[in-house]
Amino acid sequence: MLFPSFPCLALLALATLSAGAAELTLVAPARSYLSPVSIEGTMPGALPTVSRYGYLRSPARSLGPQAWYSDVLIVPDLPAVITVTAGAEQRSQTVTWETIDLDGAPLALVARPWQMISLRGVGNRIEVRAPSGITSLAWATPGEPRLFTLRQPGEHRFRRPDGVGGVTVRVYAATVRQNPNQPVAVLVDDCSYVFPLPIAPHSDEVFCTSADPDLIVARSGSGVALRPRTAGTHLGAVRLGSATGPILAVVPVVGYNLDVSKALYPLAVADDGSVPAPDTLTVIGSETSAQRLRARIVMKPWVPNVKLVFTKFAHPATFLGGATTFAVRTDGSPSTLGEAGFVTSLAADGTRIGTFDYTINNPAGNDSQCARLDSRTLFSDVPTGIAWLLDPIAKP
């Protein structure tokens, strides 16, 4: 397969990033057999704007903290000057969408849905074999270019009725089954979440990359394995043909941290039911009597579409009502034991955090609690991280 619309764009962009630069760059092919044309580059700050033929187009799309990409629609056989602007900086590249002669040597391409191809026929008919069937089309003006839109995934063949020459285009589509307002959330540097990403038709010529050094991305079966190394939103790219090929889909993932350190110092519940502030409580635990204690989990940044599952093991301490397991969603709804859910607030650095307090029933003579905390996505209930609560319960 050939990938003429995207020769080595990502490689140069990533090389610039890896060198620590944050300058504006534009990487685009000099010629393409497909339109829109895929371009990308790096940026010093805000997303740049993209124009062609001197007309302003929409802003580029983000590919990471210092990377951008865009798809630019151009006119066949009319060289387009594509300009990227960020502040006072500009970068330009001339790109030509070339028409393919059907009487030339056979050509094989890959494309994404809704890209277009420009063909020039010699006779007065052309045979089109598409996933929807086989058709024979009349060529209105022999020798004049004709545009075809590649709508469906699968193989598209264009050739003369006598079988001479022709073009074969394999169209691939990626289905991103995700609410854009609820990206996948993964516990930082804990595990990889395999995001389902069906590719149609199935192909081994699909690669996963990231322009973000804080996100580890890899292909995993029919999905994409995402592992954030820092908190915040990260973007993984699914590409056609190679690690530098055109972008088929972009998958966002949010990395978050869970601070379970407050579980080391559970919050005692007074007789009147009040809970002292965690910074003022110093005396906990008892050798002679059972106590009802409180512990705290802090999520930073707060992500609303995560479910946390708590499971006790090894020691006799239990949760509210003697339960050994319960779950709570981070969206603020009550836990499965009926305790109040997450409460959000702003941290000193401006990050929105989520706080959840839960009950520990500690029997007399017990000096520790052991629990497993599983993070799961709400839409697929797949684990996205594990934290361990192996905490001594201090004695006065």
Same domain, 183 and 167: no
Same domain, 290 and 366: yes
Residue 135 or 290, more confident: 135
For range 215-234, the mean pLDDT: 83
Same domain, 232 and 163: no
Please compute Rg for the chain using Cα positions. Answer: 28
Within-domain flag for 8: no
Choosing from 124, 151, 171, the residue where a domain stops is: 171
pLDDT at 6 over 50: no
User: What is the CB neighbour count within 10 angstroms for residue 362?
Assistant: 24
Going by pLDDT thresholds of 50, 70 and 90, the confidence category of residue 95 is: very high
pLDDT at site 381: 58
**Helix (H) or strand (E) segment spanning residue 219:** strand 215-220
Contacts of 19 (CB under 8 A, 6+ apart): none
pTM for the full predicted model? 0.74
pLDDT at site 105: 79
Within-domain flag for 78: no
pLDDT at 7 over 60: no
Q: Which domain holds residue 297?
A: 260-392
Q: What is the CATH number of the domain that holds 240?
A: 2.60.40.1080
Cα–Cα distance measured from residue 236 to residue 225, given in angstroms and rounded to the nearest whole number: 9
Same domain, 316 and 387: yes
pLDDT at site 9: 35
pLDDT at 17 over 90: no
And the tokens for 100? 């393919």
Same domain, 136 and 188: no
Within-domain flag for 44: no
Residue 168 pairs in a beta bridge with 108, 157
Within-domain flag for 369: yes
Q: What is the CATH number of the domain that holds 274?
A: 2.60.40
Same domain, 219 and 340: no
Going by pLDDT thresholds of 50, 70 and 90, the confidence category of residue 270 is: low
For range 163-191, the mean pLDDT: 76
Choosing from 117, 148, 171, the residue where a domain stops is: 171
Tell which residue, 59, 16, 52, 55, has the closest CA to residue 37.
Answer: 52
pLDDT at 369 over 60: yes
Within-domain flag for 23: no
Within-domain flag for 109: yes
**Helix (H) or strand (E) segment spanning residue 11:** helix 9-18
Same domain, 115 and 214: no
Same domain, 132 and 161: yes
Same domain, 131 and 237: no
Most confident of 31-40, 188-197, 291-300: 31-40
Choosing from 149, 171, 193, the residue where a domain stops is: 171
Same domain, 388 and 307: yes
Within-domain flag for 251: yes
Q: What is the CATH number of the domain that holds 118?
A: 2.60.40.420
pLDDT at site 117: 94
Cα–Cα distance measured from residue 159 to residue 81, given in angstroms and rounded to the nearest whole number: 31
Minimum mean pLDDT among 175-179, 304-308, 321-325: which range? 175-179
Residue 96 or 205, more confident: 96
pLDDT at site 268: 52
**How far does Cα 357 stand from its chain's mean position?**
31
**Helix (H) or strand (E) segment spanning residue 110:** strand 107-111
Minimum mean pLDDT among 100-109, 122-131, 186-195, 222-231: which range? 186-195
Phi (first) and psi of residue 326, to 5 degrees: -165, 170
Same domain, 164 and 280: no
